[in-house]
Amino acid sequence: MAQNVLCEVNSCRFWADNSCTASTIKIGKNTMTDVTRNAETDCETFETK
Ligand code: SF4
């Protein structure tokens, strides 16, 4: 399990009790420019249940 990754995306199949159970996670960016705020980041490991 990824260590100490807290997450509130309860529609993800890796979500359990406000934690992420995936072995690793990859975070990408959703902007073509440099990321300057958290809203411009995305969890690319997300999968629907
Ligand atoms: S894979 Fe991403 S969206 Fe899914 S529980 Fe883990 S951190 Fe949250």
**Domain coordinates of the chain in residue numbers?**
1-27+39-49
How confident is residue 35, by pLDDT bands cut at 50, 70 and 90? very high
pLDDT value at position 46?
98
Other residues' Cβ atoms within 10 Å of the Cβ of residue 20: 22
Summary mean pLDDT of the chain? 95
Alpha carbons 24 and 39: distance in angstroms, whole number: 21
Residue 1, pLDDT > 90, answer: no
pLDDT value at position 3?
83
The larger pLDDT score, comparing residue 6 to residue 1, is at 6
Q: What number does the ligand 1 atom closest to the CA of 12 have?
A: 4
Tell me the residue length of the chain.
49
**DSSP 8-state assignment for residue 29:** E
- How close is the Cα of 7 to the center of ligand 1, in Å? 6
Contacts of 22 (CB under 8 A, 6+ apart): 1, 2, 5, 14, 45
The response to whether residue 46 sits with its C-beta less than 6 Å from ligand 1 reads yes
The response to whether residue 2 sits with its C-beta less than 6 Å from ligand 1 reads no
Query: If you take atom 3 of ligand 1, which residue's CA is the nearest one?
Result: 46
